[in-house]
Structure 1
Amino acid sequence: MKLVTWNCNGKFTDCFKEIIKENADIYVIQECEDPTNSTSEEYKEFASNYYWIGDNTDYGLGIFARDDVEIELVDLDDNGLRYFIPVRVNDAFNLLGIWTNPNMEGSKVIYYPKEITSYYELHKESGFFNNDVILCGDFNCDVRLQDKRHGKNVYEMMEKLSEINLVDVYHYLNGEKQGQESIATFYWHKHLDEPFHLDHVFASQNAVKKLEIGDVSEWLEFSDHMPMIFEI
């Protein structure tokens, strides 16, 4: 099965035709429009099997699947944490789509990883977080971000997820350390000299067979984030 996670930087109705060229089974998309309110019939057709959440109909988190892929929403209270979509896929594994977006004023840098840690702590006894779960999305987490407390919270998040033997798949497959990534997933204001690694896939060590990050020369036209494409 092939999955893609991508922060499309808004206006997904204008660029979803590009990402579906990946021919994936499931797309986890951040900053996308609510298909219910879209005027694009093509977008609605693409979004025939999906879940979407958000406080703004133009910017939310969506999970979109092929019609022959069963995605069932798992009843987990987010307790005000934003944004998470937990689903069961083909009754075979759990998938948590993520776009961290703390509901607070002022700087959010410190708190992005805390959202994920808090969500895990809230539901770690529910059975959803098992050895087969996959987490993916725009975590807004990079230990290099300017507030050092953010980096500390990233490592805390990783430690918590390691309790169920989850690893950051990119770093595991490439043998790279946090903050020393050779391939970025995000370019601040689309500037090539300001790369970060904000998007992540967490899974058990043997769950993901292959992971690639979209080529910046191809994708920067559409978003400041590069898609992460992986197979399980």
Structure 2
Amino acid sequence: MKIITWNSNGYFSERFPAILEEDADIYVIQECQNPPIIDSEEYNEFASNYYWVGQNQYYGLGIFAKDNVKLELIDLDDKGLRYFIPVRVNDDFNLLGIWTNPNIEGSKVIHYPKEITKYYEEHKDSGFFNEDMIICGDFNCDVRLVNKTHGKNVYEMMDKLSEVGLVDVYHYLNDETQGEETKSTFFMNRNLSKPFHLDHVFASPSTVKDLQIPNPEYWMTLSDHVPIIFEI
């Protein structure tokens, strides 16, 4: 099964044909429109099997799947945390789609990793979090961001997820450390000289068979994020 996570930087109903070229089974998309508000037969056909959350109907989080993939929404209270979609896939494994977007005043940077830690703490006893699950999306987490507090919170989040056997798959497969990535997933203002690694996939070490971050030049014509493409 192939899964893609991508922050489309808005306008996903216009940009989704580009990501379809990868022919994934599941797409976890950040900053995408809620399909019912879009008057596009093509987009609504693509979004025939999906879940979406958001306050702004044009900038939310969606999980879209092929029609032969069973998605079952898990009833977990988000406790006001934004944005998370917990689903069961094919009665086989749990998938948590993420776009961290704290509902707070002022700078959000410090709080991005804390949102994930809080969500984990709220639901770690529910049975949803386990070593067979996958978490992916725009975490807005990079230890290099702004100050040491953000980095400390990133490592705290990683420690919490490790309690159920989950690792940051890119770093595990490439034997790279946080903040020293050779491939980036985000470029500030689409400037290739300002790279960050904000998007992540967490799973058990044996779950993901292959993970790719494609060349950014093409994707910068569409978004400030590059997709992560992986197979399980």
Deviation at 1:214, TM superposition (A): 2.0
Aligned pairs (5 A) from 1:94-105: 94-105=94-105
Counterpart in the other structure of 2:46: 46
Counterpart in the other structure of 2:56: 56
Q: Which amino acid aligns with 2:225?
A: H
Q: Distance in 1 between matches of 2:151 and 2:63?
A: 28
Q: Which amino acid aligns with 2:145?
A: L
For residues 5-24 of structure 1, what are the alpha-carbon distances to aligned partners after superposition, in whole Å with 9 as ceiling and x for unaligned? 00000000111000011000
Report the TM-score, using the length of structure 1 for normalisation: 0.99
Counterpart in the other structure of 1:153: 153
Runs of 4+ that moved beyond 4 A: none
Unmatched 5+ residue regions in structure 1? none
2:77 maps to 1:66: no
2:50 maps to 1:26: no
2:94 maps to 1:129: no
Q: Distance in 2 between matches of 1:100 and 1:204?
A: 21
Counterpart in the other structure of 1:184: 184
Unmatched 5+ residue regions in structure 2? none
For residues 124-156 of structure 1, what are the alpha-carbon distances to aligned partners after superposition, in whole Å with 9 as ceiling and x for unaligned? 000000110100000000000012100000000
Q: Which amino acid aligns with 1:173?
A: L
Q: Distance in 2 between matches of 1:159 and 1:22?
A: 32
Q: Distance in 2 between matches of 1:99 and 1:226?
A: 15
May I ask how many residue pairs the two structures share in their alignment? 232
For residues 50-107 of structure 1, what are the alpha-carbon distances to aligned partners after superposition, in whole Å with 9 as ceiling and x for unaligned? 0000000100000000000000000000000000000000000000000000001110
Report the TM-score, using the length of structure 2 for normalisation: 0.99
SS of residue in 2 equivalent to 1:121? helix
RMSD: 0.5
Q: Distance in 2 between matches of 1:86 and 1:147?
A: 30
Counterpart in the other structure of 1:224: 224
For residues 202-226 of structure 1, what are the alpha-carbon distances to aligned partners after superposition, in whole Å with 9 as ceiling and x for unaligned? 0000000000012112211000000
